[in-house]
Amino acid sequence: MCDTMVALGNSTKDGSVLFAKNSDRQPNEPHIVIRVPRKAHEKGSRVKCTYIEIDQAPVTYEVLLLKPSWIWGCEMGCNEFGLNIGNEAVFTREKYGKDSLTGMDMVRIALERCKTSDEALHMIIDLLGQYGQGGNCGFEKKFTYHNSFLIADKTSAWVLETAGQYWAAERVEDVRSISNCLTIGSRFDLGHPELVKHAVDRGWCRGEKDFHFARCYSDRLITRFSGSKQRLAASTAGLQREKGNITVNTMKNILRSHDSRLEDRLFTGSSLKSICMHGGFLYGDHTTGSYIASLNQKNCTYWVTGSSTPCISIFKPLWLIENEDFTFSEDEEAQAVGYWKERERFFRMVLENRIADLDAYLEERDKLEREFQERVDTLDLKGSKHSDLLGIMRYAMDREKELINRTVESNKNNPASVKGNPYFKHYWKKQNSRLGE
């Protein structure tokens, strides 16, 4: 379960395009930050995706991938041109296919081969038609679904939603959110040539006049219980409320928001209606990674937690420059997993009520993030030296590490006590015991 948002330049405070996403996965699934350089490939070469091989492109662009550690593709990411894509699980009436390309595979392929949102849109549509979509995307238990995508570059964005081989696409005009449900209705800009006919043949509508993509193709039961409608409404309301004045901080606040029923007991219960999801429910999904992209013609700044649970994590600035220490290569997967788990153990201390004064930690966290933002705001990004950008990145990482280490050290001897209903307590005790495996 996930949520993805975009605000085009006509809706943001500084004219940048802002793209943001939470990745909600099974709690012990490491969500890692991998950087892959531009590469040239020999003619006729192939690339192994999560389940199948496909033809490789002559050149693949540099990409930043935020991904489950065991998946070839990514939940969200960007490339050297500022193209950003995120995908969502959606549940439809169409049958789930055999192992082929996952939605995450399609995200990575499009990032590696496309420069603009238009190119990426058509690339994913072509991949869907040529290879189909399918395959288990669950970490500890099987989880299959169809996919929707939010695709953005420095000037434009598209929503692409799929149901098996069928699809519809809508150009974004100002702000847009997607979640774990089909959102495109009767109006869309592009669609599969048999989209309406197939729905009529299946008896889901009478004809083009009463065709509604989401209403016709959704699996209403699973969609309802996913909590996606409530999360979609919350993220959309947050964007609409600040439209024309949307900032990185707006995106942070939305990614950190919770179901109102949990505000007084964030770490004693769970809800699939929370954008910042805390696990412990029947489906168990938890926000394992968070990401915000600020895109403009001068430069692109990425704000990444590198950790789960954005309501207690620290967003740090990242630029795709040489010698940065934030990301890991594909050969450094073990180190990337270690980075994520180091921060994850801090969250589990919070969950176990071992942090004596969480409010004091959060106050320091907010102060650090304001300082990071102020330092970024004072830069002329296009004219800034790499040494200046590296200095800010390393400072942010050092300060995060210092705060977390100090908080852990001063609370490590406090007794652990997961609170909440019996299932919630049992669930998290089991997850905590398995985290180090």
The CATH number given to whatever domain includes residue 333 is: 3.60.60.10
- Write b or e for each residue in 183-195: b if 16 or more Cβ atoms lie within 10 A of its Cβ, otherwise e: bbeeebeebbeeb
pLDDT at 383: 66
pLDDT at 36: 98
The strand order across the sheet containing 3-7 reads 175-178, 3-7, 17-25, 286-295, 300-304, 316-318
CB 54 within 8 A of CB 106: no
Note whether residue 71 is domain-resident. Answer: yes
Note whether residue 425 is domain-resident. Answer: no
Note whether residue 354 is domain-resident. Answer: yes
Encode the chain (437 residues) as per-residue pLDDT tens digits.
799 999 999 999 999 999 999 999 999 999 999 999 999 999 999 999 999 999 999 999 999 999 999 999 999 999 999 999 999 999 999 999 899 999 999 999 999 999 999 999 999 999 999 999 999 999 988 889 999 999 999 999 999 999 999 999 999 999 999 999 999 999 999 999 999 999 999 999 999 899 999 999 999 998 998 899 999 999 999 999 999 999 999 999 999 999 988 877 889 988 899 999 998 776 668 999 999 999 998 889 999 999 999 999 999 999 999 999 999 999 999 999 999 999 999 999 999 999 999 999 999 999 999 999 999 998 876 667 889 999 999 999 999 999 999 999 999 999 999 998 898 999 999 999 888 76
Active site residue 2: yes
Number of domains in the chain: 1
In angstroms, what CA-CA distances link 79 with 38, 50, 117?
9, 20, 12
pLDDT at 347: 95
Note whether residue 267 is domain-resident. Answer: yes
In angstroms, what CA-CA distances link 106 with 7, 102, 215, 357?
23, 6, 25, 43
- Write b or e for each residue in 90-115: b if 16 or more Cβ atoms lie within 10 A of its Cβ, otherwise e: bbbebeebeebbbbbbbbbbbbbbbe
Note whether residue 60 is domain-resident. Answer: yes
Note whether residue 89 is domain-resident. Answer: yes
CB 165 within 8 A of CB 129: yes
CB 32 within 8 A of CB 139: no
Note whether residue 431 is domain-resident. Answer: no
Note whether residue 435 is domain-resident. Answer: no
CA atoms within 13 A on the CB side of 170: 21
Tokens of 10: 């006509």
Phi and psi torsions of 270, nearest 5°: -135, 160
pLDDT at 270: 85
Please tell me which residue in 2, 276, 300, 311 is annotated as part of the active site.
Answer: 2
Domain of residue 25 covers: 3-411
Residue whose C-alpha is closest to residue 127's, from 143, 151, 153: 151
